[in-house]
A and B are shown apart, each in its own frame.
Chain A
Amino acid sequence: MKILWNNSAGGNFNSAPNWAFAGVPGPADIAAMTLSGTYAVSSHVSNTVLGFTTGAGATLAITGSSTFTATQGTATGINGGHVIVADGSTLKAGGTINNVNQILLSAAGHATEFLVMSPLTLKGGGWYRCRATVTTSFRPLAGMLCLPMLTTRLRGLERSRCR
């Protein structure tokens, strides 16, 4: 079921009155933060949804060292706004993320991650920005992959295009 955000002032993802009709979205639901206006929705405890979608003025902020899981990415919708994964928090997604705007991993001393529930497809022409003072990473859901010996290094203004 698609559940619509209903508070133009923004607020707590886990507060039922902020959502229309059925309350806080769960694992079988699409969290649709498509209400017009500019606002931020804060998910500061771990949540799982089927998918999420944001409007142009909406920001989904994943905070509190929590994990926000979208098992089917944006499902039938798009990320038209912003997703901010704050320091120490995690975005976990599978399926497809149709990202036409921006997803930001913003580390400031703690591992800040995007866990990939393989396979995951990124489309929509948007941005993923990894702001790292210590660690930002995309990594697979089941354990860390050890990077083998580094074989190629692109430095400075070099550019590689393989077609």
Chain B
Amino acid sequence: MLTNVDNQIAGAGAIQVPLINQSGGIINANVASVPLAIEVVINGGVLEASNGAELLVASPLRGPAA
């Protein structure tokens, strides 16, 4: 399990470990020619694709418990 509290993970490739992206976390696919693939368990932060890139999310998105 990878918990991202408040870092920004950007670029291309794959995050192949279950990921909790907390409120301060940003996952940004920003390389136009190569996607960034992730497996998010819980997302309370930001998932984004920019610069014409693709962010591939390999699991249903779920927000944190209220």
Contacts and interface: CB of A to CB of B under 8 A. Distances in A.
Interface of A: 99, 105, 107, 116, 118-133, 135-140, 144-145, 147-163
19 contacts: A116-B1, A120-B2, A121-B3, A122-B3, A123-B6, A124-B6, A127-B7, A138-B2, A138-B15, A138-B16, A139-B14, A144-B16, A149-B58, A159-B46, A160-B48, A161-B46, A163-B23, A163-B63, A163-B64
Contacts of B23: 163
Contacts of A139: 14-17
Interface residues of B, number: 48
Given A137-B14, A137-B16, A150-B56, A132 B34 contact: yes
B17 A116 contact: yes
B44 A128 contact: no
Contacts, number: 158
A128 B16 contact: no
A75 to B, nearest CB: 16
Given A122-B3, A130-B12, A162-B61, A153 B56 contact: yes
A131 B11 contact: yes
Given A138-B17, A156-B52, A129 B1 contact: no
Contacts of B34: 132-133
A135 B34 CA distance: 9
B52 A147 contact: no
Contacts of A125: 6-7, 24
B51 to A, nearest CB: 8
A87 to B, nearest CB: 13
Interface string B1-40: 1111111111111111110000111000101001011010
A137 B12 CA distance: 8
